[in-house]
Chains A and B, each alone.
Chain A
């Protein structure tokens, strides 16, 4: 199946630091989505991107749809303890094809 390469696998950062993570693929995607999963919960949608080059913010979160349509990144500014969790990227090839997910980035914030 399609593969999304998400990096880094895990991050340990100090509270207040900025965070950056990304996803890459060998295929061209029409949509990129970013989700967050808290322990014991299902993933929750953070940001959706639909156009190449699109830059979208949601509070302290900013995500971009790469111009090649093969990558996307997520930035978190001024991290806080509640940012802890697993962040997933997801992409859709087009039409009614289901989402493909990356393996996740586990974020730990040290107060």
Chain B
């Protein structure tokens, strides 16, 4: 089993460009999450989807949109990238009634 798979692993964008980060899980989990990790800031929640068909804002949602495409896939879109969005992005998933979240390997995004 692959667990949680994120693509791409690395990306460089110019300010104003758009892109979509993809995430897929094969563990039949209900809930999926997008976090960003910045030095000294820990993991901050951007958006989450408690179950298929629902999405909710997290702590730092501005500048992002998400789509829960189906139970397996949860994408994160940057419509107009800004240098402040330079970060490492992690997707995670969990069973709805259990709290343990399992993480992908991350996407390292640089906006210049």
Contact = CB atoms under 8 A, between A and B. Distances in A.
A44 interface: yes
A104 B41 CA distance: 8
A90 B40 CA distance: 15
Given A1-B59, A42-B105, A96-B50, A101 B43 contact: yes
A71 B104 CA distance: 27
A102 B35 CA distance: 13
Contacts of B48: 98
A84 interface: no
Interface stretch (B65-73, B74-82, B94-102): B94-102
A96 B103 contact: no
A9 to B, nearest CB: 8
Given A41-B106, A42-B105, A43-B90, A48 B100 contact: yes
B42 A33 contact: no
A98 B42 contact: no
Given A43-B43, A98-B33, A98-B45, 17 more contacts: A6-B42, A33-B99, A33-B100, A42-B90, A42-B92, A42-B103, A43-B90, A43-B103, A88-B42, A88-B43, A90-B101, A96-B50, A98-B48, A99-B33, A103-B41, A103-B42, A104-B42
Interface residues of B, number: 25
15 contacts: A1-B45, A33-B99, A40-B106, A41-B105, A42-B90, A45-B102, A88-B42, A96-B96, A98-B31, A98-B33, A99-B33, A99-B45, A99-B101, A102-B42, A104-B42
Interface string A4-30: 001000000000000000000000001
Nearest to A100: B45
Contacts of A44: 103
A17 to B, nearest CB: 25
Contacts of A88: 42-43
A45 B90 CA distance: 14
Contacts of B43: 43, 88, 101
